[in-house]
């Protein structure tokens, strides 16, 4: 990812969400100085991914792995710091870095999907109009319904444990993004 691309992502997604959290919770500090570290980790992890997981090293890494790599890069540098350890009842209210990373990954995936729709790369959805495909993603990624808790909270807790145990798995996380994309198309197109 180029510095310019990351600057855009930082301004439009990461910075806005982090500042919103900081404004809501006085015991939270957004550490902007980790910005370059996140980008460096992203590029290093992307290179690792190409070397380890890509059969053809010249090919581009897919959108699901790119989203996963950014999530991991944000988690490793924790741009949101707790001034006082204070825990909230709802996991999405105290897993700030996990939430920031997840939202960023979902935003990246959505941007890629919308670009692919406009370039007509989705052969499996070629019978649908571009407008209809866009509407499936108009509110972003649709999280699956679960029988135990909310999907997003479950993912945030999983990311928290991943970070705590330093056990990052690009392919497992990329697989989540793959199925979220499918879920969003399936549910979004069914609603129309």
DSSP letter (8 states) at residue 60: P
Q: What are phi and psi of 81, to 5 degrees?
A: -110, 145
Tally of domains in the chain: 1
pLDDT tens string 102-156 = 999 999 998 888 887 777 666 666 667 777 777 777 778 888 888 888 899 899 9
Contacts of 178 (CB under 8 A, 6+ apart): 64
DSSP letter (8 states) at residue 10: I
Tokens at 148, concatenated = 């135990």
pLDDT tens string 52-109 = 888 877 788 899 999 999 999 999 999 998 876 655 545 556 788 999 999 999 999 9
Contacts of 66 (CB under 8 A, 6+ apart): 46, 108, 112
pLDDT band at 183 (very low <50, low <70, confident <90, very high): confident
Helices (H), ranges, 30-84 = 35-53, 63-77
Domain limits for position 9: 3-190
pTM over 0.85? The answer is yes
Dist CA 135 CA 127 (whole Å): 15
């Amino acid at each position: 990812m180029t510095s310019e691309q990351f600057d855009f992502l930082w301004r439009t997604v990461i910075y806005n969400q982090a500042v919103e959290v900081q404004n809501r919770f006085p015991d939270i500090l957004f550490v902007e100085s980790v910005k370059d570290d996140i980008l460096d980790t992203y590029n290093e992890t992307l290179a690792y991914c190409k070397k380890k997981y890509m059969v053809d090293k010249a090919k581009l890494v897919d959108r699901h792995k790119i989203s996963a790599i950014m999530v991991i890069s944000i988690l490793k540098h924790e741009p949101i710091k707790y001034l006082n350890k204070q825990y909230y009842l709802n996991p999405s209210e105290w897993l700030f870095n996990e939430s920031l990373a997840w939202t960023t990954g979902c935003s990246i995936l959505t941007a890629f999907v919308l670009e692919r729709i406009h370039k007509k790369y989705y052969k499996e959805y070629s019978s649908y109009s571009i407008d209809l495909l866009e509407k499936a993603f108009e509110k972003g990624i649709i999280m699956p319904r679960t029988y135990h808790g909310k999907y997003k909270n479950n993912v945030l807790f999983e990311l928290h444990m991943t970070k705590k145990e330093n056990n990052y798995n690009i392919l497992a996380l990329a697989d989540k993004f793959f199925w979220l994309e499918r879920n969003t198309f399936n549910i979004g197109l069914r609603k129309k």
